[in-house]
């Protein structure tokens, strides 16, 4: 039993490391190639919008409860998407693609915030993007790794009877219900903690 648990843990750990690497590659591509991948007009418009948001943030009234709710709804939709992709074998490449695209979008946002925004842009990245990044990478990797594990089991024919499949599906879904709590914490950081810290510091400056 112990050897089996160690095997499962080692497999999940390797998948998590691989997924974290995919996310980081996507992030670096987003940071280094934001202006290259996006049309020039679009990149300029988004950079100007980022500058305007940073300039107006100290004066802008933030509804933290609404921001947290919006972040949780977005994260919940992502969680349901990951859960659904894990139910099929064809979802395996899409799960890797999802992680890479998430990293890419973070990279583009970071690049635009840093571009031409000086110290305020750096502070927004440091206080708003970095904490979410630190939480998101392991959480997303673990969540997707759990979905991939179920997909691999389907691919390998691990479930030999309808009863085994139902039991595996219940365990798979039960763990995702636990993941909701972790994603709720991330939503709180996204919607309340980091915006409050960022706004407070920019107001002082």
Higher pLDDT, 3 or 34: 34
* Predicted pLDDT at 133: 87
- Banded pLDDT at 3 (limits 50, 70, 90): low
| Residue 109: Cβ within 10 Å count | 20
Query: Mind listing the pLDDT tens digit for each residue in 36-46?
Result: 766 667 667 66
- Banded pLDDT at 4 (limits 50, 70, 90): low
The first and second tokens of residue 184, run together, are 């709720």
Q: DSSP secondary structure string, 152-191? A: HHHHTT---SHHHHHHHHHHHHHHHHHHHHHHHHHHHIII
Query: Mind listing the pLDDT tens digit for each residue in 152-185?
Result: 888 877 777 777 788 888 999 999 999 999 999 9
pTM: 0.86
The first and second tokens of residue 38, run together, are 């996006």
The Cα–Cα gap between 106 and 102 comes to 6
Residue spans of the domains in the chain: they are 2-54+63-204
Sign of CA dihedral 76, 84, 92, 152: positive
Q: DSSP secondary structure string, 48-70? A: HHHHHHHHHGGGS---HHHHHHH
Higher pLDDT, 107 or 128: 107
The Cα–Cα gap between 45 and 112 comes to 10
* Predicted pLDDT at 8: 67
Site of tokens 């409860």: 65
Residues 153 and 92 sit within 8 Å (Cβ to Cβ): no
* Predicted pLDDT at 103: 92
Query: Mind listing the pLDDT tens digit for each residue in 88-117?
Result: 989 999 999 999 999 998 888 888 777 766
């Amino acid at each position: 039993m112990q050897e089996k648990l160690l095997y499962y843990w080692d497999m999940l750990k390797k998948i998590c490391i691989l997924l974290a690497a995919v996310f980081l590659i996507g992030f670096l591509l987003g940071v280094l190639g934001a202006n290259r991948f996006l049309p020039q007009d679009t990149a300029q418009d988004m950079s100007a919008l980022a500058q305007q948001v940073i300039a107006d943030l100290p004066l802008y009234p933030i509804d933290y409860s609404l921001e947290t709710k919006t972040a949780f709804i977005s994260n919940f939709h992502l969680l349901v998407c990951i859960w659904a992709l894990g139910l099929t074998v064809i979802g395996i490449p899409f799960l890797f693609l999802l992680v890479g695209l998430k990293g890419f979008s973070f990279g583009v946002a970071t690049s635009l915030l840093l571009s031409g925004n000086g110290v305020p842009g750096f502070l927004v990245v440091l206080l708003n993007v970095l904490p979410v990044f630190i939480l998101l990478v392991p959480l997303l990797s673990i969540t997707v790794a759990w979905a991939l594990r179920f997909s691999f089991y389907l691919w390998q024919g691990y479930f030999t009877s309808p009863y085994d499949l139902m039991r595996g599906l219940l365990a798979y879904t039960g763990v995702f219900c636990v993941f909701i709590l972790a994603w709720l914490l991330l939503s709180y950081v996204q919607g309340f903690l980091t915006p409050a810290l960022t706004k407070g510091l920019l107001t002082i400056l």
